Structure 1
């Protein structure tokens, strides 16, 4: 199940990516930063909601939340969540890598075609 989320994290939006900086490295960094900021904003809002509800219902105190230590299964689940998170925020880097690999693959195929044409002339 987690693998599906990892694959979805790398999905590419249709259309051209908007560009704000002339330097592609700055553009990449901005994309990563905005992905992190979006993730963090959503997480903080949801966390605040959960903590307020739990405390209001008398189910957990802030102290219990602060001192919680996950067991091994919970730690493993958290590790998977972290991998999915990293995949989402580094999506732009992964997509650029895939585009470069595709470009190299196409160039390699073109080179092979040229060699085949040369050999057929001999």
Structure 2
């Protein structure tokens, strides 16, 4: 049997190069990194749960080997794709609303700026 994988050690590995910074406060970058990491884990769990549900429905029993080797057919893949897109949309909705407000032809803050500049 091969050596066990040291997942804790592997999780501490760092990518080469400087970590990208998106916000002035590095704590925000770390927070968003954590949130999106958790979102990815939840997404993976949702797919695994879907696999388990489909196998139970089809076979009535579960074996870990069946779960690990499961490959969704086209219909299941499309359903998963739609579910994942809806999930990501829900997570990103706050960001999307912010972008929409910035891109609006008449964002509220611009009304104030225009009024002040005329006075």
Shared fold per TM-score greater than 0.5: no
Q: Which has the higher contact order (CA 8 A, sep 6+)?
A: 1
Greater fraction helix: 1
If the TM-score is normalised by the length of the shorter chain, which range does it land in? 0.3 to 0.5
